[in-house]
Each structure stands twice: as C-alpha cells, then as structure tokens.
Structure 1
Amino acid sequence: MDTILLIFCVIYDFCKGFEPRWEQRLSESSLKRRRRRGELCLSEVMTTIVGFHLSGYRTFKHYYLNYVLRYQRCYFPGLVSYHRFVGEL
C-alpha cells in the first residue's frame, strides 16, 4: 500500500471521531461564524500537510505546486489551486 494512502486512512479514521465533537463544540460556543465547506475534506487537508513534513521540501508552496498537484491528483480528485488551499486553512 502506498504510504500516502496509509497516512490518509489513519487520519480519516481520526477525523470520523473528531469532526462531530468539534462541530458540537463550535455550535455550543458563543462565537458564531460562518463556516463554508471546502472542496477538500479535513482528512485530505491534514494528509497533505503531514505529507509535506515527511517530504523534505523546504517550503509548502513548492511541495504543493511541484509534488501534490503533479503526482497526487489521482489520490485527491478535488484538489484546488495553491492559493485556494492556503486560503482555506
């Protein structure tokens, strides 16, 4: 199994339990803010960030533009541009 798939599966399992509790906590909070759904799910965003830290690239921008967009499109069909990705964080 590819390393990226293994990382994604572990993060996805974590997010299944974390996101409902996070959403509940946000709804109970006195801070009300609009939350727009991104095109990437939380586990895809987290997998991309973990992949960067394991990659050896010096900057996230170079990693995303030169590796993720070129070689990981098959894993993440909803990939967005670099500027949209960092704007959604």
Structure 2
Amino acid sequence: AFYYHHMLGMMKREFPNLPSYSRFIELVPRSIMPLCSYLQSIMGDCTGISYIDSTKIAVCHNKRIYRHKVFEGLATRGKSSMGWFYGFKLHAIINHKGELVSVKVTAGNTDDRAPVKDMATSLFGKLFGDRGYISKALNAWLTKHSDTRLIT
C-alpha cells in the first residue's frame, strides 16, 4: 500500500523512473548485501554511554498468521509491550549521539536479554535499558567481559 499510494502515486514526479511494484519486489533481494554494507559503514563507536532497546517487525496481521508463507519457518509469534505479533525483533544499541553501535534481528519470540552478550562485546561504560533487560546474571556477565554496567 505504501509503495502504490505514496511512491508510485504522490512521489512520481520526484522519482520518475521507479519500477513497478512487482519489479520492486524482484529487486529487493539484490539490495540486501549493499544495504548491509552501508549499515556497517555508518556504525558509530561506543562513547561510554549506550542505550539498548528492541522493537517488533511484524510480517503480517495476527489473523493471517496461518496463511502467511513468505517467512514460514523463520518468523515466530512474539509478545511486546504493544501486544502479540508475528514476525521478528530488531535489537539495537545506540550511543549518546544517536549513532548505531550494534544491531541484531532475531525471531519474534526471543527474550530481549538473549542477544545482549553478542551485541555488547565492544561496549564499555554504562548501558541503559528498559525493564525487559533486568537480570543480575546479565549485569554480572557484562561487567566481567566488557567492562559495561547495565542500568535498567
């Protein structure tokens, strides 16, 4: 709906050579590697003050879970503070300047604390998170392995 209405409709003058929606869908897999390379090139450095959070990436409405075939076997049901969803979770750590320091995509049913150890290896200083990250064991591991203190 966004591509048809906004891009092909309202933004046609600004982007006169946009491909059709079906061609756009065909081109998306080709763009994954360049987009990942670009994302890696704009990553910021840890400054000693970092923030961590996750957000849901729903792939379909809950009513359509059993008919959804695109991410079958990859996407899972998960729960966020906004309710149940079917899809993935995007976990991100940013520094105090708002620059991305680390990013990870997991299945929707992944606990928020699970990817922190992989993501926080290059961190130091203080890492601020919401109540989904409360864990004495995680705080102890971060202090020992990356000189980071988790504050929730």
TM range (shorter): 0.3 to 0.5
Structure that is richer in strand per residue: 2
TM-score, normalised on structure 2?
0.27
Query: Which structure has the greater CA radius of gyration?
Result: 2
Structure that is richer in helix per residue: 1
TM-score, normalised on structure 1?
0.40
Asked which structure has the greater RCO (Cα within 8 Å, sep 6+), the reply is 1
